[in-house]
Amino acid sequence: MLKKIITSIGVLVAGLIVLAYATNTDYLLKAVRTIYLKGHTTAFLDDYHEFDNRTIPAGPVKYSWPKHEGYNTSNASDRLEKKHQEMGTIAFVVIKNDSVFYEHYYQGYSDSSNTNSFSMVKSMVSGLLGKSIMNGTIRSLDQPVGDFFPEFSQGLAAQMTVGDLSSMSSGTNWDEHYYSPLSITTRAYFDDHLRDVILNLKVVDTPGQKFKYASGDTQLLGMVLEKANGKTLSEQLTQYFWQPLGAEHDAFWQLDSEESGIEKAYCCLASNALDFARFGKLYKDKGNWMGTQILDTAFVEKSITPRFKDSPQYGYGWWMHPHMGKDFFMMKGHLGQYVMVNPKDNVIIVRLGHLHSKRGQSRDFGDDIPVYIEEAYNMLEQAGLN
């Protein structure tokens, strides 16, 4: 009887595998192996271990964030600790005047633990676009995507620019759904041939007219940058940002397949809170890092300014989220990965974790974000720094 059961299960599994290949959904086999069999219903914080990666090496010159004179002298409120527990926070850092004022790590994670950035890396990819414009390998935000990929050189697609990709206004038929196994977002996460997935997108609306969040836009932008610069995205990030910003630890960027694959440009750089925070400081300081102008000031200012009046929450690769009468811009990723920046107060808040809250008044932001901001400022106030 047991032998028959085992044989039946084997036949069923084999049939499902054949069906997956026959219906061009074989990427789901990778999804089952790397995500679902591990008890998850979506990508998770430590999943970079399950994929091939390229290393983003730290350079010989590292910048260690100084400790603020009030370092960890303020206590987190019960409200904040409850939110951390509820949402599975693993890192919470408050940087004031470019010094670490408060940091705390949970669940065995530390200041050097690598976890998935998810969509926070979109801000970095947009920064690589700015660097490419500075270097002259891309003419401007208005350069057509069709210059790099003839698949997008006819009809409406011919109007699509690299700036449209950075500002999420490509007009493509990308459908952003994380929890549907049959969505293009899920296929992009697990498919071994990500280039083909992206090059099969269709432009169905006039580009450059309105904001529609689409991870495929950033992936296509990453492919443009790869062509324009003749380097992998990992090589570009290492050369233009990671090492010049003095990152203290190696990072790891997920690939679609084996070593010769391409980076998932729309997500999935594994790093830590303090190294992620460097990009908040770079943009807070208008592209200047320790006296060196790494990014053009005008590009940075454009990036953190809404492109469309009816979509005040997004610029070029960065989110805007005013709260408490203060203007924040931020990097934001799936499951609640945040780098929140207020230049006027010289404050950077980093939160990493397993979950984010339900959407608040805006469909683009969880109602956990105000808690992190308010409680960070409460701690600063405890120290007389508000």
- pLDDT value of residue 361: 55
> Do 220 and 309 lie in a common domain?
yes
Is 237 among the domain residues?
yes
> Do 245 and 266 lie in a common domain?
yes
> Do 30 and 61 lie in a common domain?
no
Cβ-proximal residues to 153 (8 Å cutoff; 6+ apart), any chain: 144, 146, 147
pLDDT at 232 over 60: yes
- pLDDT value of residue 20: 45
> Do 16 and 164 lie in a common domain?
no
> Do 8 and 62 lie in a common domain?
no
Give me the CATH number covering residue 248. 3.40.710.10
- N-term to C-term CA, the chain: 72
Quote the distance between the C-alpha of residue 80 and its chain's center.
24
**DSSP for 58-102, written as a single string:** --SS--PPPBPTTTT-SPPPHHHHHHHHHHTEEEEEEEETTEEEE
pLDDT 10s digits, 319-370: 999 999 999 999 999 999 999 999 999 999 999 999 998 765 567 899 999 9
Tell the residue number behind the tokens 């969505």, with chain if given. Answer: 183
Tokens of 120: 């926070």
Is 367 among the domain residues?
yes
- Global confidence as pTM: 0.92
pLDDT 10s digits, 132-175: 999 999 999 999 999 999 999 999 999 999 999 999 999 999 99
DSSP state for residue 183 in the 8-state scheme: S
Cα dihedral sign, 258-261-263-264: negative
CA 294 to CA 245: how far, in whole Å?
9
What is the arithmetic mean of pLDDT over 290-302? 98
- pLDDT value of residue 4: 42
- pLDDT value of residue 6: 39
- Boundaries of domain holding 22: 2-34
pLDDT at 24 over 60: no
Is 170 among the domain residues?
yes
From the list 38, 228, 240, the residue with the least C-alpha distance to 124 is 240
What is the arithmetic mean of pLDDT over 194-207? 97
Is 131 among the domain residues?
yes
Cα dihedral sign, 286-54-253-95: negative
Is 151 among the domain residues?
yes
**DSSP for 287-327, written as a single string:** TEETTEE-S-HHHHHHHTS-SBTTBTTBSSS-EE--BTTB-
Give alpha helix (H) positions in the chain: 2-22, 27-34, 78-87, 121-135, 162-166, 184-190, 194-199, 215-229, 233-237, 273-284, 297-303, 369-382
> Do 7 and 86 lie in a common domain?
no
Distances, alpha carbon 162 to alpha carbons 80, 228, 328, in Å:
40, 11, 25
What is the arithmetic mean of pLDDT over 311-320? 98
Q: Which of 33-47, 162-176, 212-226, 248-262 is the least confident region? A: 33-47
What is the arithmetic mean of pLDDT over 58-70? 97
From the list 294, 273, 258, 244, the residue with the least C-alpha distance to 337 is 273
> Do 30 and 175 lie in a common domain?
no
- pLDDT value of residue 357: 86
Give me the percent of the chain exceeding a pLDDT of 70.
Answer: 92
Q: How many domains does the chain have?
A: 2
Confidence of residue 178 (pLDDT cuts 50, 70, 90): confident
Is 42 among the domain residues?
no
Give me the percent of the chain exceeding a pLDDT of 90.
Answer: 84
Tokens of 173: 């038929």
> Do 259 and 200 lie in a common domain?
yes
Is 41 among the domain residues?
no
> Do 334 and 370 lie in a common domain?
yes
- pLDDT value of residue 27: 85
Is 180 among the domain residues?
yes
